[in-house]
Structure 1
Amino acid sequence: MSVSVVIPCYRSAQTLPRLVERLVPVLTARGEAFEVILVVDGSPDDTWAVAEKIAATTAHVRAVRLSRNYGQHNALLAGVRLARHETTVTMDDDLQHLPEEVPVLLDALGEDVELAYGVPRTEEHGWLRSFASRSVKLAIGRGMNIEGAHEISAFRAFHTYLRDAFAGLVSPDVNLDVALSWATTRATGVTVEMDERTEGTSNYTPRMLVRHAMNMVLGYSTAPLRFVIYLGAACGLLGAVLLGVILYQYFSNKIQVAGFTTLASMIAIFSSAQMVAIGVLGEYIGRIHQSNAGRPTYVVRERSDIDAHPDLPH
């Protein structure tokens, strides 16, 4: 099967040449048509200059530059929509995802598997980052009812036709895994080797991962609204129980004049529940406003395609 490899690039001027140098021979050895799409996501360094040079001198490589930093998944979506081959692979730009493992993902695809995730043998991140990552995946699985969410990673391979399910997606908050879940449930995890990061630091902090989880759940699910309903029901039940206690004390002549502690606790509980409900509803209203305001998913500033270099062998 022919393959398009999409790589979102941010602050990766040092790693891109080595990544492409290792990736192209691996894809060439498969004997199928391929392309590599480098999507530079508004990187403030000279990543675009490096990507443009690689595209100008290396067959099968295309470079795309977004107008500003939109986020990893927005950049991925831009690349996926430009893919021209039967299958699409996404991978990071820091060489943690080994180019030599791409065939492992591609070989996992078939009639019964439309989406394959690369699952590392060992966790390379610190405990805090790992905990945040697991929390994000739990939020995906529970909040959006996605099976196998614990196997989700940025190292993916899928049949390109799956993108038809989100062809009309226009949102400033994008998650490729949620969008892919609209198209298929035939997903699997494949154990792959991964390397440690050798250049720079991860752009995903635990705080950003939590924010990413909130964007996914609030942007693609009504689970928080259902939670508010359950929270309201629980508070109502608690209020009914306390009312029963008060009535019992009243009719048994055990009620006391002093009840400030109970009253203050009840006010705090119900006020907190109301604030949670208002906050959740406010988030949804804010996202509706952003959507109606017409904020783009991404804007392509310029691109450098292999079609512009007919002298290179394809």
Structure 2
Amino acid sequence: MDKQASSLSVVIPVHNEVENLSLLHQRISAVMRNMSLEYEVVYVDDGSTDGSFALLQRLAAADCAVRVVRLSRNFGQTAALAAGVAHSQGEVLALLDADLQNDPADIPRLLTKLEEGYDLVSGWRRKRRGDAWLRCLLSRLANAMIARAIGVPLHDLGCTLKVYRRSVFAHVPLYGETHRFIAAYAALAGARIAEVEVVHHPRHTGRSHYGLGRTLSVLLDLLLLKFYDSFATRPQHLVGLPGLLALALGIFFLPVALLMTCLHTGRSRRCHWSGPLLWGAGCCCSFGLLSLQIGILAEMLMRTYHESQGKQPYIVRCTVSGRESCQCW
């Protein structure tokens, strides 16, 4: 292992997986014993109610490499991952699920790929086991949409099994349900990403916490990701341009509608288009003005967000001078 991968933190979010934890820890320990590096295993109990925390306490008492973080309630997988990252110490982090569908034996291959100069190596569950065909189909469609929308050449963004350099998380938001898009956000920040095929097992025991109902959530998160990619620093361009178009249409058709109304006032035969045209022109003007106002407010919020926290609209990978080279990413 190189210097940057001299220590490893394996981070695992846990929610009601008491039947899987013992076997999972045995597999992780067997893999880690065959690797010549310092490591820790960080289990994050995300509000389990089935005795998972008690079992994790016993694992921590028996293995000094185990660290357990217990959340006060069930906050969701993204929050659990964020807590695990915050309480980990390794320079490289490996993330996987606790349901035994990810295989810890794949971690060394991901680390080997990481040493080739990548910042993030993602697992690819090419042959998914135990998942319904409809769920697999929707997953493939969602991954294809995301890859096409933001240009991330990955087949399986939803696979939790990934290895990261710690510096990646300085540029990736971890809130809401963004755990599905960690690789995508990292790519937008300029991270070097690779993909390795991994084994996917059927669920050993218990039931899946994910259903088809999350498909809509993924689409909404994709819209947010696209906004983050294209308009995060210029939101006025998203709402302002349609607003200007609507305002221009309203200004053009409003005099026409008023003229038609005046010409047919007092006549026995009225123009049936004057009313709807007048109403439509008014709506266009209102929508345009409202969009421009929203765009201005969004711009003010964006500038306040960056300036109050000292955030820059760029990320420096490294600086080089005649005397030294400083690696920053």
**TM-score, length basis structure 2:** 0.66
* Offset, 1:38: 0.5
Q: CA RMSD in A?
A: 4.4
- For residue 257 of structure 1, what is the aligned residue in structure 2? 271
State the alpha-carbon separation in 1 of the partners of residues 75 and 301 from structure 2: 18
Using the TM superposition, give the Cα deviation of residue 148 of structure 1 relative to its aligned residue in structure 2, in angstroms.
3.2
The reply to whether residue 67 of structure 1 matches residue 78 of structure 2 is: no
Please say which of residues 277-286 and 214-223 is displaced more in the overlay: 277-286
1:127 aligned counterpart, secondary structure: helix
Taking the aligned partners of 1:281 and 1:129, their CA distance within structure 2 comes to: 42
Name the structure 2 match of 1:3.
Answer: 8
Residues 112/69 of structure 1: CA separation in 2 closer, same or farther (3 Å cut) = same
CA distance in 2, matches of 1:233, 1:25: 62
The structure-2 alpha-carbon separation of the partners of 1:197 and 1:210, relative to structure 1 and needing over 3 Å to count, comes to farther
Could you tell me which residue of structure 1 aligns to residue 122 of structure 2?
117
CA distance in 1, matches of 2:226, 2:69: 29
Per mean C-alpha deviation after superposition, the further-off stretch among 234-243 and 106-115 is 234-243
The DSSP-based 3-state class of the residue aligned with 2:22 is: helix
From 197, 215, 230, the equivalent of 1:206 is 215
2:45 equivalent in structure 1 = 40
Are residues 1:24 and 2:29 paired? Answer: yes
- Tell me the residue number matched to 2:202: 196
Take 1:237 and 1:131, find their aligned partners in 2: how far apart are those partners? 41
State the partner residue of 2:81.
76
Pair 1:18–1:278, CA change in 2 (3 A): farther
Deviation for aligned residue 1:203: 3.4
Offset from partner CA, 1:38-83 (integer Å, 9 cap, x none): 0111223322122222222234222110122222122112111222
Shift of 1:31: 2.8
Larger-gyration structure (1/2): 2
| Deviation, structure 1 residue 90 | 0.4
Query: CA shift at 1:193, angstroms?
Result: 1.9
Relative to structure 1, is the Cα distance of residues 115 and 30 closer, same or farther in structure 2, using a 3 angstrom cutoff? same
TM-score by structure 1 length?
0.68
Distance in 1, matches of 2:37 and 2:285, equals: 62
Partner Cα distance (1:271, 1:128) in 2: 43
Contact 1:217/1:224, CA 8 A, preserved across alignment: no
CA contact (8 A) 1:81 1:163 kept: no
Q: Which runs of 5+ in 1 are unaligned?
A: 251-255, 289-314
Deviation (angstroms), 1:127: 2.7
Match of 1:175 among 172, 178, 198: 178
CA distance in 2, matches of 1:68, 1:98: 27
Quick check: 1:131 aligned with 2:138? yes
CA distance in 1 between counterparts of 2:30 and 2:65 reads 11
Query: More deviation in 183-192 or 110-119?
Result: 183-192
Cα distance in 2 between the residues matched to 1:11 and 1:270: 54
Q: How far apart, CA to CA, are the structure 1 residues paired with 2:292 and 2:50?
A: 42
Q: Shift of the alpha carbon at 1:231? A: 2.9
CA displacement, residues 188-246 of structure 1 (integer Å, 9 cap, x when unaligned): 12122212234212335324434544665677863875432343245356657867998
Distance 1:174 1:108, change over 3 A: same
Q: Which runs of 5+ in 2 are unaligned?
A: 2-6, 262-269, 304-329
Q: Which moved more, 1:238-247 or 1:192-201?
A: 238-247
Cα contact 1:173–1:219 (8 A) shared by 2: no
| Other structure's SS at 1:14 match | helix
Q: Residue in 2 aligned with 1:307? A: none
Equivalent residue of 2:81, what SS? helix
Q: Which is further off, 189-198 or 220-229? A: 220-229
Higher RCO by CA contacts (8 Å cutoff, separation 6 or greater):
1
In 1, distance between residues paired with 2:177 and 2:200? 25
Change (3 A) 1:237 1:280: closer
